[in-house]
Amino acid sequence: MQITLGRLYLLWQCLCHQAIHSHSHPGQAASTNQCSVKVLKDLNSTCNCKNAIEWSVCIWSLHSHAMGIFSVLALPLLLLGISGIIYIYQSVRWLLSKSAVQNKVVVITDAISGLGKECSRVFHAGGARLVLCGRTWEKLEALYDALISVTDPSMTYAPKLILLDITDISCIRDVAKEILNCYGCVDILINNASMKVKGAVQSISLELDKKIMDANYFGPITLTKAILPSMISRRTGQIVLINSIQGKIGIPFRAAYAASKHAAVGFFDCLRAEMEEFDISVSTVSPTFICSYHRQPAPGNWEASIWKFFFRKVSYGVHPVEVAEEVLATVSRKKREVLMANPIPRAAVYIRTFFPELFFAIVASGIREKLKTEEEN
């Protein structure tokens, strides 16, 4: 007792036509009725049903077969539909983000770094008037050539290049005047420059601690203070600090770096509140760790400990492209704070806030495990 889907569909089509034309076109209804009878006879001869019970069982088996096919295809179709919706949403969001920075004067510090290059790329493609700052003129020129070679000159602006060493605090105010002279104003300031150091507290000199603070704290706030009067006078502007998750939690062997990032977060949190009356938005973007293009996590025997379970995602980090696109979205939507983190480091931030003793115990456990492994090696 088997009925093909094609024949059942033909019967259903005949019955539908019969229902539609039964009142308005009696002649067509009679013709359709003959078609239905013919299909029924054909179906009956195919399945050899002898009575109504066998006919019902036959129809039910076909229904079950059809539902089985539908259940198999439902999940892939659902996933395909959701993927399409997400793609459309992201495309629209990307277009809106690009339009939000068109013709805006955007200053990017340390533009020659991996993240700085990606931020330059996305803002340049969005039609922003870029002012790119960096320590090496040759690298700035190489970035300039790379940007103008892949975009339509009629749709974008040629970037302006400024030499800036963010650790040289004494020259920042003069450089800020040079930045303002490029276009007469600054719409968006992206503080991207940063310096990292890793080592035990007792092994890091006080001079190096001060250098880290200059690069990660005093440099950005000095440049921000120099640009701020122009924004206040125009009552518009955006300031973005690209910080780190270590501005939220301290990770061992990175004391100077974490201290500078904590200080920067505190400063820009206060600045955000003070700038509300001038319609100047202040945003912080804090990724776990901005990895290089080819960097791979370093293997280690001690990574099987609870330390790895809690912090392994921090060392893996996020790609500069992801961070740059998030910075563009942050600017277009004027987000106040963004934490770019996987579930484990994100959970660490909340555990540090609500369960500090548990957080300290986990960190201490990781330190002991690491030291033990180093002694064994």
- Identified catalytic residue from 9, 87, 183, 257: 257
Phi, psi of 336 (to 5 degrees): -85, -40
- Residues 6 or more apart whose CB falls under 8 angstroms from that of 176 comprise 223, 226, 227
Q: d(Cα 42, Cα 60) in Å, to the nearest integer?
A: 18
- 74 vs 60, 79, 95, CA distance in Å? 20, 9, 32
- Residues 6 or more apart whose CB falls under 8 angstroms from that of 166 comprise 109, 110, 172, 193, 214, 215, 219, 220, 223
Is 144 a catalytic site residue?
A: no
CB 32 within 8 A of CB 14: yes
The beta strands (E) that lie in the chain are given as 105-108, 129-134, 160-163, 188-191, 237-242, 280-287, 337-340
Q: d(Cα 151, Cα 133) in Å, to the nearest integer?
A: 20
What pairs with residue 340 in β-bridges?
A: 287
CB 258 within 8 A of CB 201: no
Active site residues: 257
